[in-house]
Amino acid sequence: MIKITLKDGAKMEVEKGTTILEVAKKISEGLSRVATCGEVNGEIKDLRYELKEDCNLTIHTFQKEDLDGKKAYWHTTSHIMAQAVKRIFPDAKLAIGPSIDDGFYYDFDVEKPFTDEDKAKIEEEMKNIIKEDIKIERFSLPKKEALELMKEEPYKQELIEDLPEGEEISFYKQGDFTDLCAGPHLMSTGKVKAIKILTSSGAYWRGNEKNKMLQRIYAISFPKASELQEYLDLLEEAKKRDHKKLGKELDLFMISPEGPGFPFFLPKGMVLRNVLEDFWRKLHNEKGYVEIKTPMILNEELWHRSGHWDHYKDNMYTTKIDDVDFGIKPMNCPGGMIVYKHDMHSYRDLPIRAGELGLVHRHEKSGELNGLFRVRCFTQDDAHIFCLPEQMESEIAGVIKLVDKVYSVFGFPYKVELSTRPEDSMGSDELWNMAESTLKKVLEELKIPYELNEGDGAFYGPKIDFHIKDCLGRSWQCGTVQLDFQMPERFDLTYIGEDGEKHRPVMLHRVIFGSIERFIGILIEHYAGAFPTWLAPVQVKILPISEKHLEYAKKLYDEMFAQEIRVEIDSSNEKIGYKIRKTQMEKIPYMLVVGDKEIENNTVSVRSREKGDIGACNVDEFISKLKEEILDRK
């Protein structure tokens, strides 16, 4: 018998060789019906997996927050889609078909792109395969036999060739279809219920533009038809909120063919951006930060010294100046080190909290560019905190509290992840263990729940990541705080301690917005372009009913402009109904209709974007309430 410890701490004994699915059945029939995979001592395994020793076991299902459970479900569906394609297009060659955070895709080498008619046929055939409820079986082969099995599939053969010699290579078989795959998968095709093919596009084999262009089909699946419909409704809502579409309609930003991946911010977009940056500066000033600005181009040697060259060189832009190699910065950190080193520091000077709204550049492939979400230049709201070892816990806590304050202003709930040492890290085990335990201690003392994200830390230190959730339930990783003992060592950063000797400071890296550009894209979609009044590029639009009311409108404009309210007048000759509809399309928080009655009574007729027609209001009273709303960032 072996002992199993379940996720909730409960323990049970089972016979050696019992599968994960059999354990699920022992717990409950209901769990066995919805189980998708298991996690044994931190490793994701098939439900078929036989337990051979004492272990910790988590059984995953298709739950809202259980991404591992969903991925096993979606990975199975990707094989169903590949089987359907092979039935309809027997000459299609299979590439890869992974699950992703929002469904799955499969890449195929076919003669011509898939049409809408093709995708409809594939979806119908997928439904047939699901109805057939074909048993899914796992088996493995030595490399030579694996190559022979996949002799008609050149892309699979290439993947097999890359695998180490002597390794058993796993496959999954469902009826007449077999695919190279590490799994995990469901027990049969019938376990999948509701499916939908979403879109298709071209994709280079292995993401390399030098390779052949394949055809990629994206799709989604759910255990219930109602969940699928809910997801499709969400997609429709997301299309309406698409920041690229709204950015164009609201004149916020543009992407020009002359600068792919390099966004242009238009006047209204700059207002939004400046309001965000002013908010950032005010908060940081209150928290004792100073602001710095470092150059965009720095000597290549610096990037070798920092370690960034080994990790970012493929994404860096480089240039030569006076026959010396320079790198355009993909990160602000090394510049922050140079600023610190320009002067000698005493222990009395620390902590030093140096913030920077720094423009960085990274080369992204053209196919991966996406409005403001994926660009080639962006501004990080960086800060680097240099502190004494005994100050690091309080400084980390201060960052966490600042992050919480910022996100609460925008109404973003968030979850926290602690990311630990990656494989390509630098530094000693001792320092990494101390850094990780420090971050854990701070989170636990603040009573902040967190998930462990093993192996996803920065190469120089572990980190706490903050994932905000927008109004559609989508998660965005924005903020982070990273504890770094490595950079101070590499750059020989020191301070003079109480003992008069030189000591090494501890360094924290942190961002809150992450990227100003990306955060603006998130805000556009979160608010569907209807920004809160304090953020809105135009807060008030004055609509004179006719030309004779224009003078009063200008008087109101001057009064509001003097009080730093962002206001415009619609002085066109259009009818008032048209003006109102146009202003509604512009998503401006308040419009003020002015005519004879308003001039006579020194009032304005107020229409709110949120509440509709509010009616007549005294001018001073309206301005007072508006300023209060802006000041409170409601």
The pair of structure tokens assigned to 459 is 């190469």
Beta strands of 229-322 (E only): which ranges? 253-254, 264-265, 290-291, 297-299, 317-321
| CA–CA distance, 441 with 431 (Å, rounded to integer) | 15
Helix (H) or strand (E) holding 522: helix 516-527
**C-alpha span between 284 and 291 (Å, rounded):** 9
From 241, 362, 587, 607, the catalytic residue = 362
Q: At 625, phi and psi to the nearest 5? A: -65, -40
What's the token pair of residue 300? 């290549």
- Name the residue type at position 410: F
Type of residue found at 293: K
Q: How far apart are CA 205 and CA 212, in angstroms?
A: 6
Can 45 be counted among the known catalytic residues?
no
Catalytic residue among 179, 382, 465, 570: 382
C-alpha to C-alpha distance for 20 and 32, rounded to whole angstroms: 9
Phi, psi of 316 (to 5 degrees): -95, 145
| Residue 464 CB contacts under 8 Å (≥ 6 apart), including other chains | 396, 400, 416, 417, 418, 419, 439, 443, 450, 480, 481, 482
Dihedral (CA of 584, 587, 589, 590) sign: negative
Strands, DSSP E only, in 16-84? 35-40, 43-45, 55-61
509 is catalytic: yes
> Please, what's the largest Cα pairwise distance for the chain?
92
Tokens standing for 321?
């100046």
Question: d(Cα 452, Cα 273) in Å, to the nearest integer?
Answer: 33
**Separation of CA 484 from chain center:** 23
477 is an active site residue: no
Single out the catalytic residue among 380, 391, 482, 486: 380
Number of H helices, E strands in the chain: 20, 33
Distance (Å, rounded) from C-alpha 442 to C-alpha 436?
Answer: 10
Q: Look-up: residue for tokens 């090394």?
A: 334
Contact 110, 89 (CB under 8 A): yes
The burial of 429, by beta-carbon neighbours within 10 Å (0-12 exposed, 13-18 middle, 19 or more buried), is given as: exposed
Burial class (CB in 10 A: 0-12, 13-18, 19+), 622: buried
User: Would you say 634 and 589 are in contact if contact means Cβ atoms under 8 Å apart?
Assistant: no
Catalytic residue among 181, 333, 387, 478: 333
First to last CA, the chain: 61
Q: Is 380 among the residues known to form the active site? A: yes
Question: For the residues of 211-249, what is the DSSP string, one character each?
Answer: S-EEEEEEEEEESSHHHHHHHHHHHHHHHHT-HHHHHHH
Query: Does the annotation mark 216 as catalytic?
Result: no
CA distance linking residue 4 with residue 100, whole number of Å: 30
Catalytic residue among 60, 463, 510, 526: 463
| Catalytic residue list contains 362 | yes
Is residue 566 within 8 A of residue 536, CB to CB? The reply is yes
Euclidean distance between CA atoms 201 and 214, whole angstroms? 8
Write the burial class of residue 591 (CB in 10 Å: 0-12 exposed, 13-18 middle, 19+ buried): buried
Point out the catalytic residue in the list 71, 384, 541, 587. Answer: 384
Name the active-site residue from 191, 509, 526, 566.
509
Which sequence positions are flagged as catalytic? 333, 362, 380, 382, 384, 463, 509
